[in-house]
Amino acid sequence: MINTTKIDRVQAKINAALAQIAADEGVVVSFGGIKYNPKMYYTKMTITEKLAPKEAMSANEQLSRSVGFTQNVLGMTFKHKSAILEIIEIKTRSPKYKVIARAKNGARWKFTVSQAKTYLGGDQLINREANLNKLV
């Protein structure tokens, strides 16, 4: 019978088996939510490529440019209403709200690219901030 303790044991064994594969291939394996009943359970497994910091920065810049920004905006912060938000994700496949930002309390907000540009101060300020970060 499938229960939470059995799921935890199986997931631990799967993680141990996949750790060597992940190390050999240079990827990160993570599991999403689990749904189960007494006879079976299923989970979502995501495999992402592990990038060096410089490669990740280049990939983030390409991602930002692909939706219309002039620089990498991931990690930039801005004030919205009474909260300070940090841009944490860009969803290229989203039809409208491509920019995802998170507040310190964990709340997430969705913005269009033009809204995010406005809150960040426009392309000139985004470029200045990005260039200052490179100098520091």
Using an 8 Å Cβ cutoff, are 13 and 6 in contact? no
Q: Please, how many CA atoms are within 13 Å of residue 132, restricted to the half-sphere of its CB?
A: 7
Higher-scoring residue by pLDDT: 98, 125: 98
Q: How much is the average pLDDT of 60-88? A: 89
Q: Is the pLDDT of residue 66 over 80?
A: yes
Structural domain that includes position 28: 4-49
What pLDDT was estimated at residue 90? 93
Closest CA to 28 of 49, 53, 52: 49
Are residues 90 and 45 part of one domain? no
Q: How much is the average pLDDT of 111-135? A: 80
Are residues 129 and 63 part of one domain? yes
Question: What's the helix, strand, coil split of the chain in %, to 5?
Answer: 45, 30, 25
Instruction: Using the Cα atoms of residue 66, residue 70, residue 71 and residue 73 in order, give the sign of their dihedral.
Output: negative
Q: How much is the average pLDDT of 120-129? A: 79
Are residues 60 and 43 part of one domain? no
pLDDT tens-digit map of 12-56: 999 899 989 888 888 888 887 889 999 999 888 888 888 777 776
Are residues 87 and 27 part of one domain? no
What pLDDT was estimated at residue 96? 94
Number of domains within the chain: 2
What pLDDT was estimated at residue 133? 64
Q: How much is the average pLDDT of 82-110? A: 92
Q: Is the pLDDT of residue 68 over 70?
A: yes
Q: Is the pLDDT of residue 75 over 70?
A: yes
Mean pLDDT of the chain: 86
- Tell me how far apart the alpha carbons of residues 55 and 36 are, in angstroms, rounded to a whole number: 38
What pLDDT was estimated at residue 65? 87
Using an 8 Å Cβ cutoff, are 90 and 72 in contact? no
Q: In this structure, how many other beta carbons lie within 10 angstroms of the beta carbon of residue 86?
A: 13
Are residues 84 and 20 part of one domain? no
pLDDT tens-digit map of 109-122: 999 999 999 998 88
